[in-house]
Structure 1
């Protein structure tokens, strides 16, 4: 890796249309797992002006059995979807939690998929699909995440918290951020460019029928304060180029401004472009789908490698075939920063965690309704305390050190 360079990552808020779709899909995952921890869910969501559409395949006790919905479940689904949109904060003419049109096109899971995935008397539970998954960790932030993505998320989290609390009543739910940092000797040292585009109440803009320069300055001053307080001391300088709502106005946003679909923000969800991505989305999928569970365990293993001091940064790849339990390959790259041979890590890591879908789910306790809160501000680099985000724990450090000693 080059010692000195510029690198950029972006984030999007909980009100971005694609993130609205992700949160709705994971609301369905949580609803069904709460009823049946072994439920199978593949839920896709489309959002647009005053419309939410669900599609996909499901199966579960007390949910959908023998081709029929259990009593009351359809009503629960719609209520949960509307409540998620309400919590995000959409009460706009073009998208309102209480009045959007709702379509539920979920149906039963294919019997052929079930046959290959389900555990049997003579076979372990197979992977829910084929694919490649990557995990990554770096020592450049406390959460062992890329700094550009870490601060992109933090900017929008702060703005969302201020919007919900009333500290920034001029903000609306849709927003995007982008952070460009200069690296020297592979460490981030300053911000060269910062971009924030946030939906706002009428008037907080420089262009359009509602333009009001005084109100825009209020928004501009607020966002500038957030940027300065979110990034480390000294990162924002007089040379930092800052762009706040560069189009001039952002009143129409969310699903009314642009359609949203589950799974379109996979780089935002993971490592901000600092690591490879296998292409599979997370939201809307139960943990038998290795797109989700194997990506979580790959992150878990990578974070523990860095936390153990065995590398400054590491990429781990896993691969699977549908219906087959064991991974087809385990690949480790420490990018020249490792203190242990990569081949040794490839040998040791599968001994510490069984990397079958069932083994991953049991080790990380994934058969729980923990997914809705993963669907905005990143699946990685989050606080592992409490329910969920078990893949962010560093409880393998001692065992890992002993295994490579």
Structure 2
């Protein structure tokens, strides 16, 4: 790696149209898993001006069964199920904060095009006889951790998330009543000897109330954003040489799905590592944890984070790969980028991971069992990043660092 360079990552707020879609899709995942921990969900959401459209496939016996003759007149839906889905959608939009003419939780038009899961997909995933439960799809998944921040995340992304989280908290508390839900942030940091030392450029674009793009109101908004950023970034990173771009296009009153259509799964780099690590290409939101796009990405983050937390490396990338319908991973790859502790090799780490019994061989079922993923825990993950969050009870279990001693023991 180069020792001195500039690197940039961006984040988007919970009110960004793509993130609205992600949160709605994960609200549906949570609804289904709350009814049936073995539910299968692949929910895609599109949002646009005053409209939310759901599509995709589900299998959740308490909610949907197209073979139930009693529900035939309702298209296979249980009594009240469609109403529960619509209520979950509207409540999600309400909690984000959209009560605008162009997108309002109460008056938006809602369409539900969810239907039953393909039997051909189901037969590959379900366990039967001597066949273990298979992966929900083929693919490659990456996890990453580094020691740039206390969250063991790339600093450019971690702080970009935190800026927008503060804006959202102040908007909802009334501390910044001129803010509206849609926002984006971007940080460019200068690295010396591989460590972030200064912020060279800051971009924050936030939707705002009427008139906050000119005169005293604009000055108030910009002063507020500068104060937030200065409080969040480490001391000394901002200087007179730092470039500031706050709402550089001018007015930003029209935002969210009214300003631009949103789709589930379009912010996969924001969701993961801000471009500081590879990405396998699969989105997370809207998918139940049999889909290894989600669960294997979570376990690779968990493994990489525990390696760094254990002091076995300061930077770690892990890859897993799967075939649809096959339970065991096809490959496991560890790369510590030359930062491993003395006497620790990447191959030794791979062997250590394979030998830890509690990981269940990194099969889809083993991953879900170890991390406790068959629970309604996903909506909160759908904004401000799936990684670098605080593990707490059932929340963000892939952020736990409870594998540290197992890894050390496995390495001897």
Band the TM-score falls in, shorter-chain normalisation: over 0.9
Structure-1 separation of matches of 2:328 and 2:147: 30
- Counting only pairs closer than 5 Å after superposition, residues 127-276 of structure 1 correspond to structure 2 as 127-206=135-214, 213-276=215-278
Aligned residue number for residue 281 of structure 1 = 283
Structure-2 separation of matches of 1:224 and 1:344: 46
**1:241-261 Cα distance to aligned partner (Å, 9 max, x none):** 010000011000000000000
Structure-2 separation of matches of 1:387 and 1:376: 17
Aligned residue number for residue 364 of structure 2 = 357
Where 2:269 maps in the other structure, the secondary structure is helix
Q: Which runs of 4+ in 1 moved over 3 A?
A: none
Give 1:59 shift: 0.4
Aligned residue number for residue 210 of structure 1 = none
Give 1:402 shift: 1.1
Q: In the alignment, does 2:86 pair up with 1:84?
A: no
Structure 2 gaps, min length 5: 68-75
Where 1:19 maps in the other structure, the secondary structure is helix
- What's the RMSD between the two structures over aligned residues? 0.7
Structure-1 separation of matches of 2:171 and 2:128: 50
**1:156-187 Cα distance to aligned partner (Å, 9 max, x none):** 00000000000000000000000000000111
> In 1, are the aligned partners of 2:322 and 2:328 still within 8 Å (CA)?
yes
**1:23-51 Cα distance to aligned partner (Å, 9 max, x none):** 00000000000000000000000000000
Give 1:227 shift: 0.7
Q: In the alignment, does 2:127 pair up with 1:125?
A: no
Give 1:64 shift: 1.1
- Counting only pairs closer than 5 Å after superposition, residues 327-366 of structure 1 correspond to structure 2 as 327-339=329-341, 340-352=344-356, 353-354=359-360, 355-366=362-373
Residue number among 377, 387, 398 corresponding to 1:391 in the alignment: 398
Where 1:157 maps in the other structure, the secondary structure is helix
**1:84-129 Cα distance to aligned partner (Å, 9 max, x none):** 0000000000000001110000000000000010011211100000
Give 1:346 shift: 1.1
> In 1, are the aligned partners of 2:372 and 2:394 still within 8 Å (CA)?
no
Give 1:148 shift: 0.2
Aligned residue number for residue 38 of structure 1 = 38
Structure-2 separation of matches of 1:179 and 1:36: 41
Give 1:63 shift: 1.2
Where 2:163 maps in the other structure, the secondary structure is helix
Aligned length: 399
Residue number among 382, 386, 398 corresponding to 1:379 in the alignment: 386
Structure 1 gaps, min length 5: 207-212
Aligned residue number for residue 71 of structure 2 = none
> In 1, are the aligned partners of 2:55 and 2:112 still within 8 Å (CA)?
yes
Give 1:362 shift: 0.3
Out of 350-359 and 286-295, give the one that drifted further. 350-359
Structure-2 separation of matches of 1:351 and 1:103: 48
> In 1, are the aligned partners of 2:355 and 2:410 still within 8 Å (CA)?
no
Where 1:69 maps in the other structure, the secondary structure is coil
Give 1:386 shift: 2.7
Structure-1 separation of matches of 2:289 and 2:5: 37
Give 1:236 shift: 1.0
Aligned residue number for residue 409 of structure 2 = 402
Residue number among 314, 323, 326 corresponding to 1:324 in the alignment: 326
Structure-1 separation of matches of 2:229 and 2:295: 33
Give 1:378 shift: 0.2
Structure-2 separation of matches of 1:230 and 1:14: 19
